[in-house]
């Protein structure tokens, strides 16, 4: 697999994503500067965490106008896998590649902690290798991770099984107490209707080795690998 990690000037999770991808067998990963105008030739494009252009206005609001995002849109339309992590998820929503938006956490405080998320379906390229309803322990670290969308949009998301991850407690219940940021319906990650674009607030790339306390993020990257192998 050839993966590209986009590098906006304020990205700070770019190296983390590179390290995680390169730890997988058979994966090559490169950084792509935000002024690039083509993302051709890559199987997976990762929009990493960070503060793309400072994000003083609204997270991702400026990034969506960057030259590279036009190229990402074109590749997405051709079916390339796109993974937006944290700030990357915010950018995908701002760019309208995913529905809904991410607003400030309900208690207005930045929240960094280990978080349990429930995998809602294995019917996606990003969760293919993970048993449906299983629980992943992933770090979250964001100030604006509260997912909101109007009722009709959420109905569509549910109907089409586009919600891939929900915040849950240790018993697997998507309870109010387990919701770290006030996201509607405990939504932690969604994909588009075509299922090739996935955005999530948790950080799977920070949970790919025992040393860091969890390997649960690997499943997401390995699913993409499996999917690509199956396609060949």
Partner 1 sequence: MITPALVAQHGLSPAEYEKILSILGREPNLEELGVFSVMWSEHCSYKNSRLELRKFPTSGEKVLVKAGEENAGVIDIGDGWAVAFKIESHNHPSAVEPFQGAATGVGGIIRDIFTMGARPVFLLNSLRFGPIDGDSQRARDNRHLFSGVVAGIGHYGNSIGVPTIGGEVYFDPSYNGNPLVNAFCLGILRHEQIARGAAQGIGNPIFYVGAETGRDGLAGAAFASRELTEESKADRPAVQVGDPFREKLLLEACLELLATGCVAGIQDMGAAGLTCSTCETASRGGTGVEIDLNLVPKRSADLTSYELLLSESQERMLVIVKKGEEATLQRIFEKWELPYALIGHVTDDGKMRVKRGDRVIVDIPARVLADEAPLYQPEAALLKQPLPLDLTTLREADPITALHQLLAYPSIASKQWVWRQYDHTVQTGTVVPPGSDAAVFYVREAKKFLAATSDCNALYCSLDPYEGAKIAMAEAARNLACSGARPIGATDNLNFGNPHKPEIFMELRAAIEGISEGCRAFNIPVTGGNVSLYNESQLSAIDPTPTVALVGLIEKQEEITTQYFKEPGDIIFLLGEFGSELGGSHYLLISHGRKEGLPPRINFAHEKAIHEELLALIQGGFVQSAHDCSEGGLAVALAEACFGNSNKTDTRLLGASIDLGRRDIRSDVALFNESQSRIIFSTPAHKAPEVEKKLQSSGLPFSRLGVVTQQEELIIELDQKTYNWQTKILYHSWSTAIPQMMNRLN
CA-to-CA dists, residue 105 to 110, 111, 139, 217, angstroms: 7, 8, 16, 23
Half-sphere exposure of 225 (CA within 13 A, CB side): 17
Among 120, 142, 203, 208, the one annotated catalytic: 203
**141: contact with partner 1 by CB under 8 A:** yes
Q: Report DSSP letters for 158-213, one per residue.
A: HHTT-EEEEE--TTS---STT-SS--GGGEEEEE-TTS-EEEESS-GGGSSBGGGT
Q: Cα dihedral sign for 160, 166, 168, 174?
A: negative
Question: How far apart (Å, rounded) are the C-alpha atoms in residues 196 and 45?
Answer: 11
Active site annotation includes 137: no
Residue closer to partner 1 (CB basis): 34 or 161: 34
Residue partners of 96: CB distance under 8 A and separation at least 6: none
Interacting positions 20-59 with partner 1 (CB under 8 A) = 20, 49-51, 53-56
Active site annotation includes 161: no
Q: Which two tokens stand for residue 165?
A: 């991850």
Among 94, 120, 144, 205, the one annotated catalytic: 205
Q: Which stretch binds partner 1 (CB under 8 A): 36-44, 157-165, 186-194, 199-207?
A: 199-207
Interacting positions 150-189 with partner 1 (CB under 8 A) = 170
**84: contact with partner 1 by CB under 8 A:** no
Residue closer to partner 1 (CB basis): 111 or 148: 111
Q: Which stretch binds partner 1 (CB under 8 A): 7-15, 77-85, 181-189, 193-201?
A: 7-15
Q: Where are the beta strands (DSSP E) in 48-186?
A: 81-85, 101-103, 111-119, 135-142, 146-148, 163-167
Q: Cα dihedral sign for 21, 73, 195, 42?
A: negative
Active site annotation includes 205: yes
**205: contact with partner 1 by CB under 8 A:** yes
Figure out which of the listed residues 61, 104, 111, 184 binds partner 1, where binding follows CB under 8 A.
111
Q: Which two tokens stand for residue 86?
A: 């944290």
Residue closer to partner 1 (CB basis): 149 or 208: 208
Cβ 37 to partner 1 shortest distance, Å: 16
Judged by the rule CB under 8 A, the positions of this chain that interact with partner 1 are 9-13, 15-16, 19-20, 49-51, 53-56, 109-116, 137, 139, 141, 143, 170, 203, 205-206, 211-213
Positions annotated as catalytic residues are: 86, 203, 205
């Amino acid at each position: 697999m050839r993966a590209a990690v986009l590098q906006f000037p304020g990205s700070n999770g770019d190296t983390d994503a590179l390290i995680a991808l390169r730890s997988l067998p058979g994966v090559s990963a490169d950084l792509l500067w935000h002024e690039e105008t083509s993302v051709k030739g890559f199987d997976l494009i990762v929009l990493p965490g960070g503060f793309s252009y400072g994000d003083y206005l609204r997270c991702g609001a400026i990034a969506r106008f960057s030259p590279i995002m036009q190229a990402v849109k074109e590749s997405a339309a051709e079916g390339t896998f796109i993974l937006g992590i944290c700030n990357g998820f915010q950018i995908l929503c701002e760019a309208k590649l995913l529905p809904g938006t991410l607003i400030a956490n309900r208690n207005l405080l930045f929240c960094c902690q280990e978080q349990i998320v429930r995998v809602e379906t294995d019917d996606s390229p990003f969760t293919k290798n993970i048993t449906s309803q299983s629980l992943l322990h992933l770090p979250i670290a964001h100030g604006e991770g509260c997912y909101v969308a109007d009722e009709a949009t959420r109905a569509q998301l549910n109907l089409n099984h586009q919600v891939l991850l929900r915040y849950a407690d240790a018993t697997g219940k998507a309870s109010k107490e387990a919701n770290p940021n006030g996201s509607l319906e405990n939504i932690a990650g969604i994909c588009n209707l075509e299922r090739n674009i996935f955005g999530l607030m948790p950080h799977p790339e920070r949970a790919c080795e025992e040393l860091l306390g969890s390997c649960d993020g690997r499943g997401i990257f390995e699913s993409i690998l499996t999917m690509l192998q199956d396609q060949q």
